[in-house]
Amino acid sequence: MSGQRTTASDPYFPANGDSRYRVHRYEITLDYRPGPNRLAGTARLSAIVGRAQLTEFALDLAEFKIGRVQVDGRTPHYSHRGGKLRVRPAKPLPAGAAFTVEVHWSGNPKPVRSPWGGLGWEELTDGALVASQPVGAPSWYPCNDRPADKASYLLSVNTPSSYAVVAGGRLLTRTTKASTTTWVYEQTAPTSSYLVGLSIGMYQTVLLGDPGLGGVPQSAHVPAHLLPNFSRDFARQPAMMRLFEELFGPYPLGEYAVVVADEELDVPVEAQGLSLFGANHVDGVRGSERLIAHELAHQWFGNSVTIADWRHIWLNEGFAKYAEWLWSERSGGRTAQELALAAHRLLASQPQDLVLADPGRKLMFDDRLYQRGGLAVHAIRCALGDGAFFRMLRDWAGVNRHGVVTTASFAAHAARYATEPLDGLLGSWLHEPSLPPLPAPPL
C-alpha cells in the first residue's frame, strides 16, 4: 500500500472520503420503522479503481451493526470503527478496474456529531429526515463521502403505509403490501453523497405551477395543517423557476420537490432535486421567500455545479445568495445594488478575518461568507456589465453541468468575459480578508 493515500485530500475533513476510487452508482434498499427508529439497509456500490492498484479501501459509515460485506461477490477482510469501514479485498483490485461492493447494516440511526451540531439522519416526532451538509451522509448509508465523488442513485425505502417517503429524483414505483409501502426513487444525475435527501412523514402532496405548460415538474410535500400558509408562501416558486432558467440556463435536473417538515428547522437545506424547510419557514406572509429562492438556486450552484472540496463553498453560497438578490430585483423588491449596499454596510461593521476562497472549517458556514460571496458576484457583475455577466453566469452553469469546479476554474472562466483583467478585483474579494469598497453599479 506504499504511496497510496488512505483518505481524500479535503483539508477541512481529511478523515472523510477515499480518493483512491470513485463510485458511479449506489443502489440502496432501506427498511425503516419510525417508532423504534430502526433502520436496516443494503447498499450495492458500483465503483472504479483509480490510477493505482487497490489492496484496501475505505467507506464512510456510522456505528451500525455490519451484517455482511462483499467485494465482487467475495467476502473480504474488513474492520469498522471510528466511522470508517475499511475493506481489504481477497485479491488486489487492478488500476482502472470496475468493482462492486455490497454492505448490509442495521441499527438506530442518529446524526453524526460535528462542529455545527448533529448532521444527517434526524429522528422527528413522527418520521425522519436527512440533512447531511457537509459530512452527515454516513449517518445512514455507506458512502465515499467527498463532494467531488458524484454518482447516480437508486433508493428503495420500505416503511409503514401511513407515512409518505420523499427523496430526490423520480418516483419509479410505490408498492403496498400488508401494512407497509415501498417507495423507489431514481436520481440519474451525478450526485454528491451529502446531497442525497430523504424525508419520511405525514405529508399531503401538491403540485406547483401548471405541468401542462411544459415547465419543470414541481411538487410539494406538506403537513395538511400547513397547506393554507404554504400555498401563499410558495405561490411564486414557479415564477422563480422561470426566472432562474432565463438567467442561469435550463434547470439541470428532471424535477424539483420541496418538503416542509412538521417541526422547526434552523435553516432550510438543499438536496439534489429537493429542498427541506421547517414549519417555521411557512408563515403565510412570504416571510421566507428569499430562502425559497436560495434553495432553488442551489440546484444549479452546488448541486449540478459542485465544488471539488469544501474550501470552495463560496461558489455554492455566494451564488445562491446573489440569486436571492436577483429574484428581489426582478420581482419588484429591492434591487441587487440596494441589497449589496446593505450587505456591504453590515460586513464593514464586522471582523475582517474571513478569506472567501479558503475560509477554514470554522467559518465555512459563517453568515459573512454568504454575504461576502454575494457581494463578490455583484462586484463581477459591475465589472463585466449585465450582458457579459449573465452570459458568463449561464455558461458557467452550462459548461460545468453535473461537473466539479474550484475557485481557480471560476476565476479563469469569468476572465474570458472581461474586457479588462479581473485579477485585482478577484484577488481583493476572494483572497484578501479586508473588505474591498463596493464598486459602482453596472450601467
Confidence of residue 91 (pLDDT cuts 50, 70, 90): very high
Q: Which three cell numbers stand for residue 322?
A: 446573489
298 annotated ligand-binding residue:
yes
**Residue 134's domain is classified under what CATH number?**
2.60.40.1730
Confidence of residue 2 (pLDDT cuts 50, 70, 90): very low
pLDDT in tens, 6-58: 334 689 999 999 999 999 999 999 999 999 999 999 999 999 999 999 999 99
Confidence of residue 4 (pLDDT cuts 50, 70, 90): very low
State residue 212's pLDDT score.
Answer: 63
Q: Which of 299, 333, 354 is the last residue of a domain?
A: 299
pLDDT in tens, 265-274: 999 999 999 9
- Better pLDDT: 54 or 213: 54
Q: Which of 192, 222, 254 is the last residue of a domain?
A: 192
**How far apart, in Å, are the Cα atoms of 425 and each of 199, 321, 380, 395?**
42, 19, 8, 21
Find the angle CA(136)-CA(139)-CA(142) to the nearest 5 degrees. Answer: 100
Same domain, 62 and 172: yes
Whether 156 is covered by a domain: the verdict is yes
Same domain, 174 and 228: no
Same domain, 182 and 35: yes
Contacts of 246 (CB under 8 A, 6+ apart): none
Same domain, 208 and 89: no
Same domain, 44 and 178: yes
State residue 439's pLDDT score.
Answer: 85
Q: Please count the structural domains in the chain.
A: 3
3-class state of residue 219 by DSSP = strand
317 annotated ligand-binding residue:
yes
Whether 94 is covered by a domain: the verdict is yes
Supply the angle between the helices 314-330 and 407-415 in degrees, to the nearest 10: 50
Across 292-308, average pLDDT = 98
Whether 288 is covered by a domain: the verdict is yes
77 annotated ligand-binding residue:
no
* CA-based nearest residue to 426, from 406, 410, 403: 410
Element (H or E) spanning 276, and its range?
A: strand 274-277
Same domain, 77 and 140: yes
Same domain, 225 and 108: no
pLDDT in tens, 123-134: 999 999 999 999
State residue 3's pLDDT score.
Answer: 32
**Residue 252's domain is classified under what CATH number?**
3.30.2010.30
State residue 424's pLDDT score.
Answer: 96
Whether 16 is covered by a domain: the verdict is no
DSSP assignment of 27-91: EEEEEEETTTTEEEEEEEEEEEE-SS-BS-EEEE--SPEEEEEEETTB--EEEEETTEEEEE-SS
Whether 87 is covered by a domain: the verdict is yes
Same domain, 78 and 110: yes
**Residue 316's domain is classified under what CATH number?**
1.10.390.10
pLDDT in tens, 57-66: 999 999 999 9
> Which amino acid is present at 110?
K
Whether 6 is covered by a domain: the verdict is no
Across 251-260, average pLDDT = 97
Same domain, 227 and 156: no
Same domain, 157 and 55: yes
Whether 418 is covered by a domain: the verdict is yes
Q: Which of 283, 299, 315 is the last residue of a domain?
A: 299
Whether 411 is covered by a domain: the verdict is yes
List the domain range (segments joined by +) for residue 262: 204-299
Same domain, 242 and 371: no
3-class state of residue 12 by DSSP = coil
Same domain, 354 and 423: yes
Percentage of the chain modeled with pLDDT above 70 = 97
